[in-house]
């Protein structure tokens, strides 16, 4: 099989050049840009489009299906990723314009979406295009599902939800679902592969205080905004209790050999060292994130002008919920600690999806392929603090095999997701495609 790096780069460039920026307001989704991206995919991957059925679901989600020979008794394989990208930010801070997809003299491609997650779509598609040219026909059913508002965590009109509803209505279940994130990296000269079987839940809350307002020359002791200041202080000083959950114990143990200092020792046996880890969670951001449902106050608003007392002041917080806990647990905690007069409401959020098992044939297959590609590699099953659209497919995957994993071997010349100057070293793109080729060839055997 001929892996043509230049062709892969050309395909990714064409995708990055379409500015499929997701908007928090579903009404503002620029559907025409997504339709343009669909056209780019059609042009880049003629064999995929001749072989798979392709449907546009909802506004502009894509659902591809290849009915296999049926010789395998494995449930279908789902590959998912998102078409949308976060806003590009300040253009003047970009080395090259964010939607130019410029490749510099060092072979680095610069542009919004080149690592998150258009490279996933490109990897899946290029792998399949090569396999089809080679005469491959899967013995199982293969699906691709690409949403268009992953970056705003879905909200109303979440493409992941629309896709889930559609698949559910058709009675489709998966044997394994693979999404973005994870991958291979070199840590202190050793190869590490991060496969992500679970992720935290997500919630935005508004806390607000309503007051009579009036002239700021006659203020009360505490204005509505002042009361919210105290509410933030209270939240920060009364956090949810830290807890040690099974996947995190596993992750800490796997990470220990790659850490230094005290954490390296503590992570070797997190249960025995729990009292100290709990203490560290007060000050160490990494540990805190691993053992706690977190809440951060991120936005605030008061009155419209400096000399007006706010009639309504509000703050927005962002929480990340540990697997095993729920929005209800979080709200019970808020209700317990909030000072009087401060109300709150959920703006948007979801519970953490179920934790996938790492004791499955799907997980084993990933391990086998990656071990062959990167001899000596160590595997770290991790919890994702962020979120992905893969959460929508857990309920459709009875094998508990939803993994966030990319074939990419990341390096120092790749990064910048969600920041300005997102970039990818084009050298690593070949192995990404290779991983998916092996996955498609060997799944269901």
The nearest distance, CB 82 to Zn ion, in angstroms, is 6
Nearer to Zn ion, 150 or 211 (CB): 150
3-state helix, strand, coil in the chain (%, to 5): 35, 25, 40
The nearest distance, CB 180 to Zn ion, in angstroms, is 5
The nearest distance, CB 116 to Zn ion, in angstroms, is 4
Residue numbers at the binding site for Zn ion (CB under 5 A):
116-117, 180
CA-closest candidate to residue 320, choices 361, 291, 281, 340 = 291
Token pair in block for residue 192: 């590490």
The nearest distance, CB 126 to Zn ion, in angstroms, is 19
Nearer to Zn ion, 158 or 281 (CB): 158
Nearer to Zn ion, 140 or 146 (CB): 146
Nearer to Zn ion, 181 or 297 (CB): 181
CA-closest candidate to residue 153, choices 399, 320, 338, 345 = 320
Is the sign of the CA dihedral 93, 97, 101, 102 positive or negative? negative
Nearer to Zn ion, 116 or 141 (CB): 116
The nearest distance, CB 230 to Zn ion, in angstroms, is 36
Nearer to Zn ion, 44 or 117 (CB): 117
Token pair in block for residue 341: 């007069």
| Number of C-beta neighbours around residue 306 at 10 A | 7
Question: DSSP 3-state assignment of 65?
Answer: strand
Question: DSSP 3-state assignment of 190?
Answer: strand
Q: Nearest 5°: CA angle at 148, between 127 and 88?
A: 95
93: burial class by Cβ within 10 Å (0-12, 13-18, 19+)?
exposed
The nearest distance, CB 417 to Zn ion, in angstroms, is 7
> Do you know the residue count of the chain?
445
């Amino acid at each position: 099989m001929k892996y043509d790096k230049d062709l892969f780069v050309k395909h990714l460039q064409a995708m990055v050049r379409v500015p499929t920026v997701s908007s928090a307001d579903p009404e503002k989704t620029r559907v025409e840009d997504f339709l343009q991206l669909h056209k780019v995919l059609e042009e880049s991957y003629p064999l995929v489009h001749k072989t798979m059925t392709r449907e546009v679901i909802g506004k502009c989600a894509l659902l591809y299906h290849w009915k296999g020979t049926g010789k395998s008794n494995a449930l279908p394989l789902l590959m998912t990723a998102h078409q949308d990208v976060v806003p590009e930010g300040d253009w003047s801070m970009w080395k090259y314009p964010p939607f130019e997809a410029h490749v510099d003299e060092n072979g680095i491609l610069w542009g919004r979406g080149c690592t998150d997650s258009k490279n996933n779509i490109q990897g899946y598609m290029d792998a399949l295009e090569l396999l089809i040219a080679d005469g491959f026909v899967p013995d199982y059913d293969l699906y691709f599902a690409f949403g268009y508002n992953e970056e705003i965590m879905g909200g109303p009109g979440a493409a992941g939800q629309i896709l889930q509803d559609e698949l559910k209505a058709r009675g489709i279940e998966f044997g394994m679902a693979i999404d973005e994130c994870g991958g291979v990296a070199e840590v202190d000269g050793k190869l590490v592969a991060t496969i992500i079987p679970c992720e935290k839940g997500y919630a935005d809350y508004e806390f607000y205080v309503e007051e009579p307002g009036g002239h700021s020359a006659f203020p009360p002791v505490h204005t509505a905004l002042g009361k919210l200041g105290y509410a933030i202080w209270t939240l920060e000083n009364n956090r949810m209790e830290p807890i040690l959950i099974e996947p995190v114990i596993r992750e800490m143990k796997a990470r220990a050999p790659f850490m230094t200092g005290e954490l390296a020792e503590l992570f070797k046996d997190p249960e025995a060292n729990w009292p100290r880890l709990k203490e560290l969670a007060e000050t160490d951001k990494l540990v805190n994130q691993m053992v706690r449902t977190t809440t951060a106050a991120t936005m605030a608003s008061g009155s419209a002008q400096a000399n007006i007392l706010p009639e309504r002041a509000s703050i927005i917080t962002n929480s990340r919920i540990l697997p095993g806990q729920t929005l209800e647990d979080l709200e019970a905690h808020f209700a317990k600690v909030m000072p009087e007069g401060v109300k709150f409401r959920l703006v948007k959020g979801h519970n953490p999806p179920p934790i996938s098992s790492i004791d499955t044939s799907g997980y084993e297959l990933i391990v086998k392929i990656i071990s062959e590609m990167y001899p000596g590699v160590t595997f770290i099953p991790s919890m994702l603090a962020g979120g992905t659209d893969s959460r929508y497919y857990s309920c459709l995957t009875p094998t508990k095999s939803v993994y966030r994993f990319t074939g990419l071997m990341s390096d120092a010349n790749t990064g910048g997701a969600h920041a300005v100057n997102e970039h990818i070293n084009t050298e690593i793109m070949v192995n990404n495609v290779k991983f998916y080729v092996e996955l498609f060839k060997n799944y269901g055997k």
